[in-house]
Chains A and B, each alone.
Chain A
């Protein structure tokens, strides 16, 4: 566990350093442009304005490279992610607004695909001779070739443009009052359907295959025969004995899947104009908004690291052999 923790910290450090190198590649003297603007707004001296601008963007080109690195790290640790060059607000504000939407879609999608996939896999393991088995394999292969963003494009084409059943862009309709009211929640749910399905549909096949393999191996265990011999209800055997034990090895991958969905949300969110982390990251790269790019990349990396750690912890709790 200590080793995992160390690797996690190293990963975050690498991401921080990478973004530091990145931000130094910014074209043009951004600090100068901001300083001039501040000077005009506040009527302060150029030196003062330059210092202020450097603090705002969390990038100070006037000091030595080492000092730059440490002042940048210091800025990050105090939550100063700099200023978004396109939105002219602190990057942390953009993150706070975007993160919930990404989390909503990715967690919904991951749990949906997990539950449905596991159910299908369990059925597949129980009915090995039926048509379901080859169908599952075909579906899993097909979904490997169809990444979420292509599924998203097809969904958009069919349900958004063709049938006009679902809203095509955004997270909610602008004229709905945001808050805890039914119309708003319904509107949000309706907007989330296609992004969620784009993530969930391809993932289902993988879960189903993994669950099928796991359940098949559990089916050969003695305790199932014992349970049957004890005359336990089939339903209880199915859910408590078979379902639970074959799902266990998949739970850690669930955390990893959440992490990778977080990292891979760019394309799906871009296609649906869904204002989550990935949407803003794609925009930031396109418009060369370095501070925003850096902030989103850092937060995504931390998210992945945290989810991975959570997976290890859950595994350690679930598997008594790993408990010390």
Chain B
């Protein structure tokens, strides 16, 4: 509870948290409140915002706000699953390398370096396109496959440092089982690192997945934020229709706002974990 209170006292982090809750509610409840109507209405193309269409209409006369709300589900799922798979892989590689050491550590460290060097966006785009990724879970897996090395590297060095500390040694002298030491002594010390990294990867996944969709490389639904940008920029010519500004800017602003919340939250969690940072806030 004290952790939550410290987080709440940090105004910037609180803002991030509230924003995130807003987006989650939008994804959970929004689609129930605003039913999706895919029927085109050519008379209402590219309408600017009005009372009936708060964010205007798209190239086929459909409501932009409804699309934005329905699209939030995909984007949140993609960013969550990317973070999830990345953390899973990083835990597997980082803990193994840190705990076992020796030649296994050498091989895994080299592997981490290789994955860290390969150009991320191109490889993610190629894989997503060739696998014809169509659902958020697979999308998350493809992105997560290339997002783990940073965390794996930090986990490895953390584990190696912790191994030498007294409390681990004490646990070993007490002949506690390795599983106990790992889950009760080591992991709790790694949770903050994992948490911050999870948020960071989830945020990166937004940019990357939207980018891949903007290029039109994956077959996803029209009402996805990335697809909305793709339609507005490359397909429907909305970019060149001044009246259509709301259609183009809505997904863009949503993407920036969502990321902004995650950045704030991550910096809040970092300050929570590392009191030295608190003074600067």
Contacts and interface: CB of A to CB of B under 8 A. Distances in A.
| A and B form one complex | yes
Interface of A: 6-8, 10-11, 14-15, 18, 22, 25, 141-142, 144-147, 149-150, 153-154, 156-157, 161-162, 260, 262-264, 266-267, 270-271, 278, 281-282, 285-286, 293, 296-297, 300-301, 304-305, 308
A15 B259 contact: no
A267 B214 contact: yes
28 contacts: A6-B110, A7-B114, A10-B113, A11-B117, A15-B118, A18-B123, A22-B126, A22-B130, A25-B130, A142-B260, A144-B259, A145-B256, A146-B256, A147-B211, A150-B252, A150-B256, A153-B233, A153-B252, A154-B252, A157-B248, A263-B121, A281-B125, A282-B217, A286-B216, A297-B119, A297-B122, A297-B123, A300-B119
A10 B207 CA distance: 28
Contacts of A142: 260
Contacts of B207: 147
B273 interface: no
Residue among B214, B240, B245, B260 facing the most chain A CB atoms (10 A cut-off): B214
Contact residues of A: prevailing secondary structure: helix
A287 to B, nearest CB: 10
A286 B217 contact: yes
Contact of A7 (B113, B260, B267): B113
Given A7-B113, A147-B211, A285-B129, 16 more contacts: A10-B113, A11-B113, A14-B114, A15-B118, A145-B256, A145-B257, A150-B255, A157-B248, A262-B119, A264-B121, A267-B215, A271-B233, A293-B126, A297-B122, A300-B122, A304-B119
Nearest to A4: B113
A146 B264 CA distance: 14
A219 to B, nearest CB: 16
Given A18-B123, A146-B256, A10 B110 contact: yes
B120 interface: yes
B141 interface: no
Interface in B250-272: 252, 255-257, 259-260, 263-264, 267
Contact residues of B: prevailing secondary structure: helix
A282 B129 CA distance: 10
A141 B257 CA distance: 11
Residue among A157, A293, A301 facing the most chain B CB atoms (10 A cut-off): A157
A267 B211 contact: yes
A270 B256 CA distance: 20
Interface string B125-140: 1100110000000000
A145 B123 contact: no
The 7 closest A-B pairs by CB, nearest first: A263-B119, A145-B259, A145-B260, A11-B117, A7-B113, A147-B207, A11-B114
B162 interface: no
A282 B252 contact: no
A306 to B, nearest CB: 11
Contacts of A6: 110
Given A145-B263, A266-B125, A286 B117 contact: no
Nearest to B114: A11
Contacts of A161: 239-240, 242
A206 to B, nearest CB: 13
A305 B117 CA distance: 7
A281 B125 CA distance: 10
Residue among B117, B260, B267 facing the most chain A CB atoms (10 A cut-off): B117
Contacts of A308: 117
A20 B212 CA distance: 22
Contacts of B120: 263-264
A156 B234 CA distance: 13
A266 B207 CA distance: 13
Given A7-B113, A25-B130, A271-B233, A263 B122 contact: yes
A1 to B, nearest CB: 14
B9 to A, nearest CB: 19
Contacts of A267: 121, 211, 214-215
A7 B117 contact: yes
Contacts of B110: 6-7, 10
A267 B264 CA distance: 26
Contacts of A14: 114, 118
A190 to B, nearest CB: 20
Contacts of A285: 125-126, 129-130, 215, 217
Nearest to A270: B215
